[in-house]
Amino acid sequence: MKNLYHKNNNILIYGCGNVGSRHLQGALKSKYNINIFIYDKKEISIKLAKQRISEVNFNKNKISIKFLKDFKFHNNFNLVILSTPAYKRFFILKKMIFELNFKNLIIEKIAFQSNQEFNKSIKLLKQNNINAWVNCANRTFNSYKKLKKIINKDDLITMIVSGGKMNFASNLIHYLDLFSYFIYDSKFRILLQNFNKPFKSKRKNYYEFDGYIIALSSKGDHLLVNSDINSSRPVTVDISTRNFNISIIEPLSKAYYKSEKNKWKIKEMNFIIENQSDLTKFFVESILKKDECDLIDVNSSFEINRMMLDIFLPHLNQSLNKNLNYCQIT
């Protein structure tokens, strides 16, 4: 591979495990001239990243790749994608701000395991003039963008998400964020919740549980997210207004649409749920071009994260008979 260096278009992927290596694949698909720097202390993650690089047919005349062991010679980046485990993210962010120069940041969800750390992070980012977004990617899917365009902003929305084995604790943030996207508001309320006993996640030191939440916006939009671990039903997202209804079966990339305009006849359509390895390309190009991104900004994401952790943490502490300060989900 040629030893290329493209001035200013420097991207750092900090953490190249499962999700980080998918971000890497997405960055490799960019049409821009970019330098991709990769940092991870774990050999198993580096091995995975190298394997996933080999799976992408990218333009080696435009894109350079370098694995870093430290930041002695490279510490200036236009964009950092922070994709480490959630439990140590605040510590890493502080270290990065002290050691590196960067102007844009994408943080993997969940961004932080405590609202205190999230709030402190926002202040640090503001003090250092860093733009930041949280990777709740559903709102960036083209299918969801097209759907939003047909919703009248003044219409009330009812959104119901249900399914089995949907990793409720880990994935609820995605559907809270998607609801926020459709109602143009991140300050809604969770009215009711009921959770089952936590169990150990397949990821070490994390927990999962299922259950349901019901949320309400200030103008009357409703959200229900319900997960049943004993069910094998695929995850379905059902969105209704007074004029239409759409039922999206995410794992099948299918949707069933009916509307008043078409006399409520059911129309089957494709509804593509895009992979991270495709989406990151668009995040990268948008940020490099105009310092903007379709992901939720860190301030708005804090509002959603706050209401979620405010109900999750007491549940974990009560169920596990612990006094945790951090919500051990990822």
Say whether both 180 and 260 belong to one domain. yes
pLDDT over threshold 50, residue 275 = yes
Say whether both 14 and 93 belong to one domain. yes
Say whether both 158 and 266 belong to one domain. yes
Rounded to 10 degrees, the C-alpha dihedral 55/60/62/66 comes to: 80
Say whether both 110 and 215 belong to one domain. no
Average of pLDDT values for 167-187? 97
The fraction of the chain above a pLDDT of 90, given in percent, is 93
Say whether both 90 and 192 belong to one domain. no
pLDDT in tens, 94-151: 999 999 999 999 999 999 999 999 999 999 999 999 999 999 999 999 999 999 999 9
- pLDDT attached to residue 3: 44
pTM of the model: 0.95
Q: Give the chain's domain count.
A: 2
Mean pLDDT (the chain, rounded):
95
Beta bridge partners of 135: 108
Say whether both 49 and 103 belong to one domain. yes
Look up the domain containing 284 and give its range.
10-137+278-294
Say whether both 249 and 127 belong to one domain. no
- pLDDT attached to residue 205: 84
- pLDDT attached to residue 165: 86
pLDDT over threshold 80, residue 8 = no
Of 235, 6, 257, 259, which Cα lies nearest the Cα of 138?
235
The SS3 of residue 21 is: helix
- pLDDT attached to residue 276: 96
Give the confidence band of 76 by pLDDT, cuts at 50, 70, 90. very high
pLDDT over threshold 60, residue 57 = yes
Q: Could you give phi then psi for residue 154, rounded to 5 degrees?
A: -85, -10
pLDDT over threshold 60, residue 4 = no
Average of pLDDT values for 33-61? 96
Separation CA 172–CA 39 (nearest Å): 29
Residue ranges with strand state E in 51-175? 63-68, 76-82, 101-108, 131-135, 158-164
Longest CA–CA span in the chain (Å) reads 65
Q: Could you tell me the end-to-end alpha-carbon distance of the chain, in angstroms, rounded to an integer?
A: 36
Residue 330 lies in a domain: no
pLDDT in tens, 189-247: 999 999 999 999 988 889 999 999 999 999 999 999 999 989 999 999 999 999 999 99
Block residue for tokens 């991207």? 11
Average of pLDDT values for 272-297? 96
- pLDDT attached to residue 1: 36
Alpha helices in 100-167 (DSSP H): 115-127, 142-149
- Final residue belonging to a domain, choices 223, 239, 273: 273
The secondary structure element, H or E, covering residue 259 is strand 254-259
Residue 329 lies in a domain: no
Question: Phi-psi region for residue 291, left (φ > 0), alpha (ψ -120 to 50) or beta?
Answer: left
Higher pLDDT, 286 or 2: 286
Residue count of the chain: 330
| Residue 181 CB burial class (10 angstroms; 0-12, 13-18, ≥19) | buried
- pLDDT attached to residue 187: 94
Burial 215-248, CB ≥16 within 10 A → b, else e? bebeeebbbbbbbbeeeeeebbbbbbbeebbbbb
Residue 232 lies in a domain: yes
Give the confidence band of 59 by pLDDT, cuts at 50, 70, 90. very high
